Amino acid sequence: MRTWPSPEIPVLPGQGGRIRVHDSTTGTLVEAAPGRDAGMYVCGITPYDATHIGHAATYLAFDLLLRAWRDAGKSVTYVSNVTDVDDPLLERAADTGVDWRALALEQTALFREDMTALGVVPPDVWDGAVESIPRVVAAVEQMLADGTAYRVPLRDPGSGGARRDLGDVYADLSADRLFGTVSRLDRAQMLALFAERGGDPDAPGKRDPLDPVLWRRERVGEPTWDGASLGTGRPGWHIECAVIARDALGVSFDVQGGGTDLLFPHHEMSASHVRSLTAAGPDGAAGCAHAHVHAGMVALDGHKMSKSRGNLELVSRLRSTGVDPMAVRLAILAHHYRQDWEWTADDLAAGEARLARWRDAVSGNGGPDASATLGEIRAAVADDLDAPRALRAVDAWCDAVGDRDGTWDLGAPGVVARAVDALLGIRF
Ligand code: 5CA
Ligand code: ZN
């Protein structure tokens, strides 16, 4: 898909060092991309009711990682997707009487504008689910041929089109001995989350209630695509991300990202699919991403902000009321990405006040030497993307400007402005 324009990232004096992030699988901090290259896949939006503050917070977290990698001189490949056909999107379209394609296009366009306004670096590869269908079909055919997937006969009246004999296709999790190693949940937890997050544990004919759908055959009233030997239908959710990630990044890459709501089943299942599609090589067997990194959930009115519940604050709504997107960015970055937190009007007010203060300080005639501030911003981001600590470092420099503290340096405001721009994505 066409992405949005990339912001200019200023080059800073010196270079950033090693970056550590929290890996949900091991529960420890691990070095993100120890090599010269860095590959990251972050799960993209399902385009209806985008972009709320929770989405924005998740993408800003990974934007910090990408900027830190660039500052460390790495060659970065960033890949993401758009789930432009899925049950919730179709349900919303049906409820509102809007064509699902029009809804997806409109919301994807809005997401592009929001990301541009927030200064988020776009992915290098941004694939839609719909445009990836031929590759997904080939992957599911391969799994059927390898015996890691199976067909379940259709029971709904009128389903299956001309080839009723071809059933839905499910992944056979019993073929993957490493299933469960990403989230490390027990079976009861898995069953509960699977039911809650889009799974179909009670679908008749499955070998295991947890087996995820790979290809859903044509149903009356649902959009459908040519699935070659699978018959007409549409792809399952997890296999889309597995195929898009594998094709753009290979079977093993550095970071798989998203919000904590995706750890199970989505990231567990995607990793399993990638393993099934890989002839059990040493890397493939270990699962596709070296680190699974998850952003906490942003809430509103006491509940996780979610499109299905409707308790949303949209970036586009704030923009339309004249709010500076950089204030929104600062409001979000004041929370550590791993925290669950609640968006309130105070967050925005604090972001606006901070932006005004920073703007004022970098517009002055000189300031205290900024090299320690640059070092502290770099160190904070490298320490599990600790944005609140980075913001405090800039606040401290602004305080010192006000107090006329330290050695006065005419170039310092420029250094701070460039550091804040390159590493935190705040443009004045
Ligand atoms: N299309 C799928 C991923 S393949 C999806 O989860 N889409 S989404 O639109 O629901 O969410 C997009 C991204 O925002 C995901 O990474 C998700 O984990 C994250 N996200 C969703 N709600 C919140 C929230 N309230 N707080 C923080 N992040 C959220
Ligand atoms: Zn995904």
Residues 6+ apart with CB under 8 A from 213: 168, 169, 170, 200, 203, 236
For residue 193, is pLDDT > 50?
Answer: yes
CA angle (268, 272, 276) in 5-degree steps: 175
- Select from 59, 103, 261 the residue to mutate for testing ligand 1; criterion: most ligand atoms less than 8 Å from CB: 261
Phi, psi of 238 (to 5 degrees): -65, -35
Mean pLDDT of 291-319: 92
C-alpha distances in Å from residue 133, one per residue of 71, 154, 226, 277: 36, 21, 9, 16
For residue 285, is pLDDT > 70?
Answer: no
pLDDT, residue 282, reads 42
Q: For 225-265, how does the pLDDT look when each residue is reduced to its tens digit (9 = 90+)? A: 999 999 999 999 999 999 999 999 998 999 999 999 999 99
Q: What is the number of alpha carbons within 13 Å of residue 18 lying toward its C-beta?
A: 6
- 21-35, 269-283, 345-359, 381-395: lowest mean pLDDT where? 269-283
C-alpha distances in Å from residue 176, one per residue of 1, 167, 184, 227: 32, 22, 14, 25
Ligand 2 centroid distance, CA of 64 (Å): 20
pLDDT, residue 281, reads 45
Quickly list DSSP for 67-115: HHHHHTT-EEEEEEEE--S-HHHHHHHHHHT--HHHHHHHHHHHHHHHH
Q: For 166-190, how does the pLDDT look when each residue is reduced to its tens digit (9 = 90+)? A: 999 999 999 999 999 999 999 999 9
Share of the chain above pLDDT 90, in %: 93
Q: Which residues line ligand 1 at a C-beta cut-off of 6 Å?
A: 43-46, 54-55, 57-58, 81, 83, 241, 258-259, 261-262, 295, 297-298, 304-306
Beta bridge partners of 38: 76
Mean pLDDT of 95-101: 94
pLDDT, residue 167, reads 96
For residue 422, is pLDDT > 70?
Answer: yes
Q: What is the number of alpha carbons within 13 Å of residue 342 lying toward its C-beta?
A: 8
- Is pTM, for the whole model, over 0.85? yes
Ligand 2 centroid distance, CA of 62 (Å): 14
How far is 286 from 292, CA to CA, in rounded Å?
Answer: 13
Segments in 160-296 forming alpha helices (H): 187-196, 237-249, 268-277, 282-285
Ligand 1 centroid distance, CA of 109 (Å): 17
Cβ count within 10 A of residue 52: 23
Residues 6+ apart with CB under 8 A from 192: none
Nearest to 387 by CA among 336, 332, 331: 336
For residue 287, is pLDDT > 90?
Answer: no
Segments in 298-370 forming alpha helices (H): 315-320, 325-333, 345-362
Q: Which one-letter amino acid corresponds to residue 150? A: Y
For residue 315, is pLDDT > 70?
Answer: yes
What ligand has the least distance to the C-alpha of 198?
1
Q: For 31-70, how does the pLDDT look when each residue is reduced to its tens digit (9 = 90+)? A: 999 999 999 999 999 999 889 999 999 999 999 999 999 9
pLDDT, residue 407, reads 85
Nearest to 148 by CA among 269, 50, 46: 269
pLDDT, residue 286, reads 54
Q: For 153-162, how does the pLDDT look when each residue is reduced to its tens digit (9 = 90+)? A: 999 999 999 9
Instruction: Output the CA torsion 285→288→289→293 (10° steps).
Output: -110
C-alpha distances in Å from residue 303, one per residue of 196, 208, 340: 15, 32, 11
Mean pLDDT of 347-361: 98
Phi, psi of 127 (to 5 degrees): -105, 135
Cβ atoms of residues 248 and 206 within 8 Å? no
pLDDT, residue 279, reads 66
How far is 61 from 390, CA to CA, in rounded Å?
Answer: 13
Cβ count within 10 A of residue 38: 23
Q: Which one-letter amino acid corresponds to residue 45? A: I
pLDDT, residue 283, reads 46
What band does 152 get if pLDDT is binned at 50, 70 and 90? very high
